[in-house]
Structure 1
Amino acid sequence: KAKAPAPEAAAVAEPADPPAAASKPKAMFDLFADTDAVPDLPAAGEGVNRAGNDDTSDPEGFYQPRAGEMLDGRYSVQAVLGKGVFGTVVAALDTKAPAGEAEAPPGAPGDPSPPPASMPKVAIKIARANSLMEAAARKEAECINDLDEEIPQERERIIAVRSIFTHGRHLCIVLDLMYLNLRDFLKRFGTEGGKPVGLHIDAVRLYGRDLLMALNCLRRSGIFHGDIKPDNILVNHGMKGVKVADFGTACPVNDCTATPYVCSRYYRAPEIILGGSYGHPADMWSVGCTLYELYTGQILFQGETNNHMLKLFMALQGRFPNKLIKVAQFAERHFDETFAFLETSVDPVSKKAVTKRVADIRSLIDLKALLRVDECKPEEKGKVLQLASLLDSCLALDPAQRPTPEQALLHPLVKFGRRAEVKQ
């Protein structure tokens, strides 16, 4: 199987220009779910310094940026990077940062020329001008700032809040500026001939280790992220590491309440769907889904509904243990009193919901087959088998059987023995 290059190779290979499209591509840096492309900034002109004025907002409360506008007397707005429900993200030059304080882009493929080292770029998340969005943004910033810093190497795998300030009626959060989220990274480096093939196994190992280190920091901090997926994992400019971002749905693990719609559906753990107790193991389920996607370029579970997701889970991992169904608040939506699965679908003719009782549930597919282990190069086969092993443990239907991040970091796939191996 042909694979996209590992990070080291990708950093020096200029990718082919993407095909022309009718619309502008999605923004490279996305702290919001499902952002849309946004228009170019208007040129700087009168009223560029608008701090404290009400004309910073459109009728829906979104910040209206202008190129060269100064925020907090320090940050010069350069471009809009993303826009979503909660607000807008812009790239800005930090005109007062000491040299070397923040990472400046090294001219990675597709990036603009880097600013001088004394003026590093940052990302600024600007909340919409309403009390609900401001409160959500403030809660997110506080969650990030309160993370445990006992192990700096793990804390560094999570996006950092550099400062918080108010501009007009908008709460602004200054963050690290990264290169791409993993969703867009896969589109750029994980395709061949327009088809998804995923990343090199060594890239998956490296990024997987960083992701697990970030989750170990969250576990020590007592924080459940609740939305681990490629969109919320950001690649640095050297392409040699990632950081976890977007804490909009994060909460203390003790505050997790039963709801079947926490987390994006394709990465949603079964205990969430069933209404069981959930927390850090649910994030580990999302890690398994994400690592599979990084290696194959394919989404593992593409269910159209929660019920369909459960069917796909069982096709891979077999039937649910009865003990999990017994304690789940929403079990009756998906299983009967004999623990038979109630498969729901829409009749193509009547368009009405149809329920079918399925008593004989068994695993129909195999992770090794999905990873196409038999087609691997000999020198990569052992690592891909290790990936299959780690995925199988992360995707255990019983959350109690999944490894903690600390345990997963001891797995041979992501346990690098020497510094030279990490560099390689």
Structure 2
Amino acid sequence: MQTAVHAMAPQLLAQYSHSSLNRPLNGNSTGMPTPPATRKRKRAAHQYTVSYSEVQEVDSAGKVRDVIVIDDTPPPTTASPSTSHMFSTSYQPPLYSAPIRTRARAAQEAQALSTSVSSITIPGPAAKKRRRDIADDAGTVAKRPATGHLQQLTANKSIASGSGATIDEASKEVPCDDKEGHYIVVPDDIIHRRYRTVRLLGQGTFGKVVEAVDTETNKKVAIKIIRAIPKYRDASKMEVRVLQKLKERDPRNINKCIHLIQWFDHRNHICLVSELLGMCVYDFLKENEFAPFPRHHIQSFAKQLLGSVAFLHDLHLIHTDLKPENILLVNNDYRTAHIPIPGRRNGGTKAKRILKSTEIRLIDFGSATFEDEYHSNVVSTRHYRAPEIILGLGWSYPCDAFSLGCILVEFYTGMALFQTHDNLEHLAMMEQVMGKMTERFLRQGVRSKPEFFKEGKLDWPKPKVSRQSKKDVRACRSLQEIIHPRDSVNVHFLDLVKRLLTFDPVLRISVRDALAHPYFSLKIPAEL
């Protein structure tokens, strides 16, 4: 895998020849076609669970590395009106004014619930979900092994607050973890002698996110509390390293990536403090019944996202996990418009939420990878995974560009572009949507994954493929059918998406070049 990555790198880097790449690291509108209802984005049909596996990979130097592979099933929902993700909330309650409780008292109150808090399973909504991928492959994000840089983080004090990794010694005798190493979250708990917890926002494999009040500034923040397990602690320190680099190179946050306020070690839990933002874009889509965004909003989102990712690439960083869940709205406010219901003879209408602000932030850098460091075999959540990753050809900056192409189409239709959990089926869907693979890329795929090909073409469908799988692939429409070029806006948008969703990563447009696409020079009128 490592050999394949470095063999591709010179060709891929040719797309990023601008001067910033060479800097050192220190320095639906009305009338839009309505897709079939059966293609709605899906999640787990029953209960949300958290699952992960630990595997070993051998790099090019023959060294065995432990790699954590997580399922992309979303964190379980809480009492919040919407599914909240890392650093996000869709509801802003009044500040807590209850008296501060000690850790001992809080832990005593939570003792009866401590075994159940870490394994919350809440039935998901019955409709409009995304399919859950199989645990051993689909929707995985492989975390990189720890490197020598981790030791440097322990003494690092370059964050904005001036605090480095410090350990809160208070009440060490009182248990604060459940049996899986998750921090037990209770209201009015004091973390790091400064932050008063308000409520749980979300939970995932690597830990929990809580809303809290900074008692020094009386401002609300989000705290990501990592599990007290060495592998997760090490992975979180890698994320801290990336977040510190982003803030160092963009202190005014012009590039709209989440900013780290502070990090510390609280009772063996690495904690990352950030600003409290709005809900993720996926949650907004879900609460809006998966209605597409207006085209002028899509243009705004596209420009911000491409700018954020271009900034990462300038720093030789690859995000590797771009998806609507990792894009947060800064403000959830919206107005309600009533739009006609297609096919209704009586002229019925339905309510649609229109955002008042399209400002966003890119989050979750736990899988971000520096180009010259170790690359895991599989990255990206299944629905946004580039073809070169599926074929084991190695990956670099272009995998982020492909994910952005998938996201922009999802903004236009309201639902995920590729609904699958199988590699071969995924590739077959790509050919339905994007056209046949180019000859050069096809030859590479045949050499890397011969089991997916036969007689010089994709071996689909195989004899044992289910009827449903065949039906799902046939249901996929081409990009030109999805984004009908009915006017100049769609013509340019379609061209941009085609350039992002190109099979061969060498031919795929870079995010920096995409920012100069004629699509962004258009003045798109406000619409529903």
Specify the TM-score bucket, using the shorter chain as the normaliser.
0.7 to 0.9
The CA distance in 1 between the partners of 2:311 and 2:506, in whole Å, is 19
- Stretches of structure 1 that go unaligned for 5 or more consecutive residues are 4-21, 25-31, 98-118, 355-361, 375-380
Match of 1:274 in 2: 391
Provide the secondary structure at the position in 2 that maps to 1:302: coil
The CA distance in 1 between the partners of 2:455 and 2:376, in whole Å, is 21
Higher relative contact order (CA 8 A, sep 6+): 2
Q: CA deviation at 1:421?
A: 9.6
Cα distance per residue 1:132-176 (max 9 Å; x no partner):
111111111111212385566765411111111121121101012
The CA distance in 2 between the partners of 1:229 and 1:207, in whole Å, is 13
Matched, 1:371 2:483: yes
Matched, 1:235 2:352: no
47-56 vs 314-323, which moves further: 47-56
Aligned counterpart in structure 1 of residue 380 of structure 2, from 242, 263, 266 = 263
Aligned counterpart in structure 2 of residue 147 of structure 1, from 226, 235, 246 = 246
Matched, 1:181 2:258: no
Matched, 1:389 2:495: yes
Q: CA deviation at 1:256?
A: 5.3
Q: CA deviation at 1:404?
A: 1.5
Residue 55 to residue 346, structure 1, CA distance change in 2 (3 Å): farther
Aligned counterpart in structure 2 of residue 80 of structure 1, from 200, 215, 220 = 200
Q: CA deviation at 1:303?
A: 2.2
Contact preservation (8 Å) 2:247, 2:253: no
Matched, 1:215 2:313: no
Matched, 1:37 2:77: yes
Residue 348 to residue 241, structure 1, CA distance change in 2 (3 Å): closer
Letter in 2 for 1:294: F
Q: Equivalent residues in 2 for 1:127-206 (5 A)?
A: 127-147=226-246, 150=249, 156-189=255-288, 191=289, 196-206=290-300
Match of 1:60 in 2: 180
- State TM-score, norm by structure 2: 0.60
Letter in 1 for 2:328: L
Q: CA deviation at 1:229?
A: 0.5
Contact preservation (8 Å) 1:232, 1:245: yes
Residue 296 to residue 348, structure 1, CA distance change in 2 (3 Å): closer
Match of 1:101 in 2: none
333-342 vs 301-310, which moves further: 333-342
The CA distance in 2 between the partners of 1:43 and 1:341, in whole Å, is 65
The CA distance in 2 between the partners of 1:149 and 1:127, in whole Å, is 23
Aligned counterpart in structure 2 of residue 305 of structure 1, from 406, 422, 427 = 422
Residue 142 to residue 202, structure 1, CA distance change in 2 (3 Å): same
Provide the secondary structure at the position in 2 that maps to 1:414: helix
Aligned counterpart in structure 2 of residue 252 of structure 1, from 352, 366, 370 = 370
Cα distance per residue 1:77-99 (max 9 Å; x no partner):
111100010000001112223xx
Q: CA deviation at 1:2?
A: 5.1
Provide the secondary structure at the position in 2 that maps to 1:299: coil
The CA distance in 1 between the partners of 2:394 and 2:187, in whole Å, is 47
The CA distance in 1 between the partners of 2:279 and 2:420, in whole Å, is 26
Residue 318 to residue 413, structure 1, CA distance change in 2 (3 Å): same
- Stretches of structure 2 that go unaligned for 5 or more consecutive residues are 1-27, 31-45, 49-71, 81-95, 108-167, 333-356
The CA distance in 2 between the partners of 1:60 and 1:309, in whole Å, is 34
The CA distance in 2 between the partners of 1:69 and 1:81, in whole Å, is 15
Matched, 1:335 2:434: no
Letter in 1 for 2:224: K
Letter in 1 for 2:367: T
- State TM-score, norm by structure 1: 0.74
Matched, 1:285 2:402: yes
Q: CA deviation at 1:321?
A: 2.1
The CA distance in 2 between the partners of 1:145 and 1:250, in whole Å, is 13
The CA distance in 1 between the partners of 2:47 and 2:423, in whole Å, is 32
The CA distance in 2 between the partners of 1:136 and 1:188, in whole Å, is 32
Letter in 2 for 1:368: Q
Contact preservation (8 Å) 2:210, 2:224: yes
Match of 1:323 in 2: 440
Contact preservation (8 Å) 1:227, 1:249: yes
305-314 vs 381-390, which moves further: 381-390
The CA distance in 2 between the partners of 1:206 and 1:142, in whole Å, is 29
Matched, 1:407 2:519: no
Q: CA deviation at 1:219?
A: 0.4
Contact preservation (8 Å) 1:258, 1:272: no
Contact preservation (8 Å) 2:100, 2:190: no
Contact preservation (8 Å) 1:367, 1:388: yes
Letter in 2 for 1:142: R
Residue 174 to residue 344, structure 1, CA distance change in 2 (3 Å): farther
Residue 148 to residue 385, structure 1, CA distance change in 2 (3 Å): farther
The CA distance in 2 between the partners of 1:286 and 1:338, in whole Å, is 27
Letter in 1 for 2:308: A
Q: CA deviation at 1:252?
A: 1.0
Residue 45 to residue 94, structure 1, CA distance change in 2 (3 Å): closer
